[in-house]
Amino acid sequence: VGGDGWAYDIGYGGLDHVLASGRNVNILVMDTEVYSNTGGQSSKATPLAAVAKFAAGGKPTAKKDLGLLAMGYGSVYVAKIAMGASDTQTVRAIHEAESYPGVSLIIAYAHCIAHGINMAKGMDQQALATKSGHWPLYRFDPRRTAEGKNPLQLDSKAPSIPLRDYIYNENRYTVLTQTDPAVASELLNAAQKYVNEHWKKLEAMAAEG
């Protein structure tokens, strides 16, 4: 079990070594999209348009897609979960990962005080993250390939709300609308475009026969 700073960034080399090992190891990444334990610094998990330490003007690049990188091995069980969006999918993914006879990687949305939210609304934000397409839910199970099935299953629907309806509930995004509205608007448009394109990519992958 580790955070996103470890998994996406400073410990990625070690994580990748484990992913490639083929051993029966279960990995859970608690993804807050920022270095939470050291004060909220930007990491490779920080999303486009978010403000964090070392990204005070809004992060201009997209979040590293750890899930897709792990899927590339073809032998790793990969799931992206958010309990606030679907507790059923969360439990199913954890059960499948535990039973998988190889490396499993679960990436879990973890709301954080560094997001600048009322933490009592954390589960609501998880649901909005999925509805907006920022945090799609999926499971990639290599065992399905042996059954002649696509290993990738999308567990959430296409984005049903604009990204702004999710991100502008969080101070890590809204602060830029106050300090530099023009840049905030530009980054919002770029982030929305990325979300749309990323969803289309996942849909295409899940539709492959």
Q: Rounded CA gap, 199 and 209, in Å? A: 18
Query: Which domain range does residue 92 map to?
Result: 2-207
pLDDT tier, 126 (very low <50, low <70, confident <90, very high otherwise): very high
What's the whole-number mean pLDDT along residues 140-160? 97
% of the chain at pLDDT higher than 70: 97
The pLDDT value given to residue 78: 99
Domain of 56, CATH number, reads 3.40.50.970
**Rounded to two decimals, what is the model's pTM?**
0.93
Token couple for 147: 């059954």
Helix or strand or coil: residue 39? coil
Q: What is the pLDDT of residues 176-202, one digit of tens each?
A: 999 999 999 999 999 999 999 999 999
* Strand-strand pairing, 104-109 and 26-31: parallel
Closest by Cα among 205, 202, 68, 72 to 136: 202
Q: How many domains, in total, are found in the chain?
A: 1
Between 9-18, 22-31, 102-111, the lowest mean confidence (pLDDT) is in: 9-18
- Helix, strand, coil tally for the chain in percent (to 5): 45, 15, 40
Calculate the CA 24 to chain-centre distance. 23
Q: Lowest-pLDDT range, 57-66, 74-83, 131-140?
A: 57-66
Taking alpha carbons only, the member of 185, 8, 186, 5 closest to residue 112 is: 5
Tens-place pLDDT, residues 19-46: 999 999 999 999 999 887 766 688 889 9
Once rounded to an integer, what is the mean pLDDT over residues 127-141? 98
- For the segment 137-162, the average pLDDT, to the nearest whole number, is 97
Q: What is the pLDDT of residue 91?
A: 98
pLDDT at 10: 87
Q: What is the mean pLDDT of residues 1-6?
A: 90
pLDDT band at 209, cuts 50/70/90? low
pLDDT at 168 over 90: yes
Cα 206 to Cα 156: distance, rounded to the nearest angstrom? 12
- Give, in order, the Cα–Cα distances in Å from 102 to each of 50, 65, 141: 35, 21, 11
State the pLDDT at residue 188: 96
Confidence (pLDDT) at 35: 81
